[in-house]
C-alpha cells in the first residue's frame, strides 16, 4: 500500500472526525499517503479528493460532525457507478479505502470489496444499529445529549405537574431509547424490538397519575408513533398538561464524548493495522472491550444487531 482514501458517509455522528484523524496519522506513520474524500460516495465517484497531512487533522478531535462532509448518494446502488468509482480511485493511485458510516454506507463498502478493491468499514452512526459491534462511533455522545435533554424536561415537568413524551432517534434500533430510559428513570420506553400496546401504556400512565405522581416521562424511539398525538391522548386521559418533544438532529451534533473519542481513535488506527496486515473487505467492531473484525459481506448478509433486552427489562422494572 502506498496511498489510502478515507470517507464518511450517510448520517453524520460525533466522533467521525476523531476516527479520520486516527486513520490519517496511523497511515502516515506507516509511510502511506492519505487522501480525504469529500462528501462520501458522491465525492468518490467525482474524484473529489484532498491530500491530508498530520496538520490537516489538527484541532478536530473535539469537533462534532465530519470535516470531510457526508452525503446521501443513491446512485451508488448502480453497479456501473460503483465500478466507475473504483476506477477513479485506481487512476488516482489509491490502493485502499476506509469507509466510516452506518449500515447503508456498509452496503457501499461491501460492494467495493466485492469488486476486489481493499476496503475497511468503521461503524459511525448514533443509532448503534450495526451488527456485531457492542458500540458504534457517536452512540455514546448522542445518548449523553438525549439524557441531558430529558433531565431538563424532568425538572420542568416536575415543577408544573406535566407529562412529557420524548422522541429520540435510533431509526429501527431501540438502543438509544433504552439506554436513555435507564439513565433517566422514565415511566415508559417504546421501541421497535418489543411489541407495545397503546392502551396498556396509557393505562399505566393513568394509574401512576391517579396514584399521585407529579410527572411522567415517556421515551419513544422515532418511527414508532406520532408523539404529538400521543401527548394529546394522554392529556385528555389524565387531565395533566402533556407536551411532546422531538429531540431530532440535536442528537447528531455536538462535541464527541470521551468514550466516542477513544473508540473512534482506536478503530481508526485499527483499520490501518488491518490494511497493513493485508486484510480487506473487513468491518471493525467492539466486542467486550476488544476490537475485532468481521467479513463485511457476512456482516451485511447474515449478522444481526443484538437488541439490549436485559437493559430494556431493567428500564421497565426500575421505571
Ligand atoms: P448510513 O450509512 O448512515 O446508514 P445511508 O443509508 O443513507 O446512511 O447510506 C449512505 C450512503 O451509502 C448512501 O447515500 C449510498 O451512497 C450508499 N448506500 C446505501 N445503500 C446502498 C446500497 N444498497 N448499495 C450501494 N450503496 C449504498
Pocket lining: 66 vs ligand 1, CB cutoff 6 Å:
no
pLDDT band at 160 (very low <50, low <70, confident <90, very high): confident
**Closest Cα to residue 2, out of 37, 31, 36, 35?**
31
Q: Please provide the average confidence, as pLDDT, over all residues in the chain.
A: 96
Tell which atom from ligand 1 comes closest to the C-alpha of 75: 16
Q: Is 125 in the pocket of ligand 1 (CB under 6 A)?
A: yes
Q: Is the pLDDT of residue 194 over 90?
A: yes
pLDDT given for residue 64 in this prediction: 96
| pTM beyond 0.90, yes or no | yes
Res. 302 pLDDT band, cuts 50 70 90: confident
At 36 the pLDDT is: 98
Q: Facing residues of 293 across strands? A: 284
Can you tell me whether residue 293 is helix, strand or coil?
Answer: strand
- Rounded average pLDDT over 4-13: 97
Q: Is the CB of 81 under 6 A from ligand 1?
A: no
Distance CA 210, CA 213 (A): 7
Instruction: Report CA(108)–ligand 1 centroid distance (Å).
Output: 6
Known catalytic residues are 127
Q: What is the pLDDT of residues 213-233, one digit of tens each?
A: 888 999 999 999 999 999 999
Res 12: pLDDT: 96
User: Is the minimum distance from the CB of 105 to ligand 1 under 6 angstroms?
Assistant: yes
DSSP summary character for residue 93: T
Average pLDDT over residues 30-55: 98
Q: Which pLDDT belongs to residue 158? A: 83
3-state helix, strand, coil in the chain (%, to 5): 45, 20, 35
Nearest to 98 by CA among 267, 261, 291: 267
- Asked whether the predicted pLDDT for residue 159 surpasses 90, the reply is no
Q: What is the dihedral of CA 172, 173, 177, 183, to 10 degrees?
A: -170
Beta bridge partners of 217: 164
What is the structure's pLDDT at 183? Answer: 98
CA distance 167 to 151: 14
Q: Which residue has the cell 431509526?
A: 171
Best substitution site from 104, 109, 138, 249 to test ligand 1's pocket, by max atoms within 8 Å of Cβ?
Answer: 104
| Assigned C-alpha cell, 158 | 416536575
Q: Using a 6 Å cutoff on CB, does residue 101 contact ligand 1?
A: yes
CA of 187 to the centre of ligand 1 (A): 35
235-286 pLDDT, tens per residue? 999 999 999 999 999 999 999 999 999 999 999 999 999 999 999 999 999 9
pLDDT, tens digit (0-9, with 9 covering 90-100), for 61-98: 999 999 999 999 999 999 999 999 999 999 999 999 99
Ligand 1, atom 8, lies closest to the CA of 10
Locate the ligand 1 atom nearest the alpha carbon of residue 9 and give its number.
10
* Interface TM-score (ipTM) > 0.95: yes
Q: What SS3 class is residue 121?
A: strand
Average pLDDT over residues 127-140: 97
pLDDT of residue 188: 97
C-beta of 127 in contact with ligand 1 (< 6 A) = no
Amino acid at each position: 500500500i502506498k496511498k489510502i482514501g478515507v470517507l464518511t458517509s450517510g448520517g453524520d455522528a460525533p466522533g467521525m472526525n476523531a476516527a479520520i484523524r486516527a486513520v490519517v496519522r496511523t497511515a502516515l506513520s506507516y509511510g502511506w499517503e492519505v487522501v480525504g474524500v469529500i462528501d462520501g460516495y458522491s465525492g468518490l465517484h467525482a474524484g473529489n479528493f484532498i491530500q491530508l497531512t498530520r496538520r490537516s487533522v489538527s484541532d478536530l478531535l473535539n469537533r462534532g460532525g465530519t470535516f470531510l462532509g457526508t452525503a446521501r448518494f443513491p446512485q451508488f446502488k448502480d453497479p456501473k457507478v460503483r465500478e466507475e468509482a473504483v476506477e477513479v480511485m485506481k487512476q488516482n493511485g489509491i490502493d485502499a479505502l476506509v469507509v466510516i458510516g452506518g449500515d447503508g454506507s456498509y452496503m457501499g463498502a461491501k460492494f467495493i470489496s466485492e469488486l476486489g478493491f481493499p476496503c475497511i468499514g468503521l461503524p459511525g452512526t448514533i443509532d448503534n444499529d450495526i451488527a456485531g459491534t457492542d458500540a458504534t462511533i457517536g452512540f455514546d455522545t448522542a445518548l449523553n445529549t438525549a439524557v441531558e435533554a430529558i433531565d431538563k424536561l424532568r425538572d420542568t415537568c416536575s415543577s408544573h405537574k406535566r407529562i412529557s413524551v420524548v422522541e429520540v432517534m435510533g431509526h429501527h434500533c431501540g438502543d438509544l431509547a433504552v439506554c436513555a430510559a435507564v439513565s433517566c428513570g422514565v415511566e415508559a420506553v417504546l421501541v421497535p424490538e418489543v411489541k407495545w400496546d397503546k392502551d396498556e401504556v396509557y393505562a399505566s400512565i393513568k394509574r401512576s397519575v391517579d396514584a399521585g405522581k407529579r410527572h411522567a416521562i415517556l421515551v419513544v424511539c422515532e418511527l414508532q408513533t406520532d408523539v404529538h398525538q400521543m401527548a394529546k391522548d394522554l392529556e385528555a386521559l389524565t387531565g395533566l398538561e402533556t407536551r411532546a418533544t422531538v429531540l431530532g438532529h440535536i442528537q447528531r451534533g455536538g462535541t464527541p464524548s470521551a468514550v466516542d473519542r477513544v473508540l473512534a481513535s482506536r478503530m481508526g488506527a485499527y483499520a490501518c493495522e488491518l490494511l497493513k496486515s493485508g486484510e480487506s473487505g473487513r468491518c471493525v467492531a467492539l466486542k467486550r472491550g476488544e476490537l475485532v473484525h468481521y467479513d463485511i459481506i457476512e456482516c451485511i448478509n447474515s449478522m444481526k444487531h443484538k437488541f439490549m433486552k436485559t437493559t430494556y427489562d431493567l428500564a421497565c422494572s426500575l421505571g
